[in-house]
Amino acid sequence: MTLDEFVSLSAALTGYPAVTLKPQNDTQQIAATLFAELSLASNNIPAAQLNELTQVWNSISATPPPGLPAAVQEKIIENLAITRLAQNIIYLWFFGTWYDLTKNPNSFTSPNIDHVVSPLAYTNGLVWGEMGAHPMGYSVGEYGYWANIPTLPQIN
């Protein structure tokens, strides 16, 4: 998978525009940081699974936007051979974490290779902004902001 493929696939999986995930003038290089997880040997990603995900994505990525989610649903999410890997890409973006592919992420059996990718991957996790909040431990809000109703990001 290339970085560009990763970003476009990520956009389809997260529901965020690609330019939000990899902005112009990218100060924090989050896309590149997360993408690197896919080639990290210690993550034990079966090569076949990654290849299949890449191929499937390339086969549907040109689908015009209105039909794309359905294609993703059918070809990726409902494809048990690759859905778990696709889910991990969602977690990379929403949490900045990588979950051991061999278990359910909500299972804490150990040892496992669950890990946070990097401090910036954590602070850029999408889940926080999605609910109008900020990552716990990192806020750029001003004093007392919590008394005001936040604007949630637009969902297209």
Partner 1 sequence: MRKINTIALLIAFAAVIVYLGSASCGNGPGGNKTNVAHADSGQVKTPLSPVLPFDVTLPPKGTGVLETTIRRSFDVFSWDSFIAMCWPAQGHGVIGQFGDNATVWETWKKNYEVFLANGLPPAPWDTGLQSKEANLSQTGKTPANMTFIFQPFMTGPLIDQNGQYNRFEIAMNKEMFDYIDTHKLYNIQGQQAFTDSVLFPQGDNTKKTYGAIMVKASWKVLGKGDDTSRFHKVKAIIHIPALASRGIRDSSYEAWVGLVGLHIGTRTTISPQWIWSTFEQVDNAPDLGKAVNGKHYNYYNVAAGDKALNKAPAQPWNPGIPGQVPSQVARLTPIDTGTQALNDSIHKILVAINPHSVWQYYELIGTQWPVHPTQSNTGDPFPVYMANATLETYDQGSVVNGKIVYSPGVTSSCIGCHNASVTWAGRPSDFTYLLKSAQSLKK
Partner 2 sequence: MDNSTKQYDAVIVGGGWAGSALAYRLASANKKVLVLEAGIAIDGLVTNPDENQLITGNRAEFMNDFFMAMAKTPESPYVQNYNAPRPAVLDIQPIPPFTLDNPAQLPAGAPPPATIDCADPKVSIKNNGYFIQRGPVPFGSTYERRGGGTSWHWLGTSLRMLPNDFKLKTVYNQAVDWPIGYEDLSDYYDQAEFEIGVSADVDEQQIHGITFSEGYVYPMAKIPATILDNTMDAGLAGQTFDGSSLKVTGTPAGRNGVPNQMKNGEFYDNGRRQCQGNTNCTPICPIQAKYDATVTMAKALMTGNVDIIYQAVATNITLDMTTMEVTGVEYKTYETTGGPCTGTFTATGTKYIVAAHAIEAAKLLLMSNTQIPAGVANYSGQVGKNLMDHPMYLGWGLMPKPVYPFRGPLSTSGIEGTRDGAFRSERASFRIEIGNEGWNWPGGAPYNQVIDVVSPMPPDQSGTPTVGIFGTALRQSIQSNFTRQFRIGFLIEQLPDADNCYIVPSKTCFDNLGVPRPEIYYDFDVYTMEGFKAAAAATDFIFDTLGVENNTGVPVGNGGVFKYEGVKYYAQGAGHVMGTHRMGTTGDDSVTDANMKSWDHDNLYIVGCGSMPTTATSNPTLTMTALAFKAADAILQSFA
Rule CB under 8 A: which residues touch partner 1?
23, 25-28, 119-120, 123, 137-144
CA pair distance 32, 153, nearest whole angstrom: 23
CA pair distance 40, 125, nearest whole angstrom: 20
CA pair distance 15, 5, nearest whole angstrom: 15
What is the Rg, in whole angstroms, of the alpha carbon atoms belonging to the chain?
Answer: 16
The answer for residues whose C-beta is within 8 angstroms of residue 72's C-beta and 6 or more apart is 12, 13, 60
97 contact choice in partner 1, partner 2, none (CB below 5 to 8 Å, kind-dependent): partner 2
For residues 46-71, b (16+ Cβ closer than 10 Å) or e, as one string? eeebeebbbebbeebeeeeeeeeeeb
Site for partner 2 in 47-106 (CB under 8 A): 69, 72-73, 77-78, 80, 83-84, 86-87, 90-91, 94-95, 97, 102-106
26 contact choice in partner 1, partner 2, none (CB below 5 to 8 Å, kind-dependent): partner 1
CA pair distance 34, 21, nearest whole angstrom: 11
Shortest distance (Å) from residue 16 CB to partner 2: 8
Shortest distance (Å) from residue 2 CB to partner 2: 21
Decide if residue 30 touches partner 2 (CB under 8 A).
Answer: no
Decide if residue 28 touches partner 2 (CB under 8 A).
Answer: no
Residues of this chain that bind partner 2 (CB under 8 A): 12-16, 69, 72-73, 77-78, 80, 83-84, 86-87, 90-91, 94-95, 97, 102-107, 114-116, 118-119, 122-123, 127-128, 130-134, 136-150, 152-153, 155-156
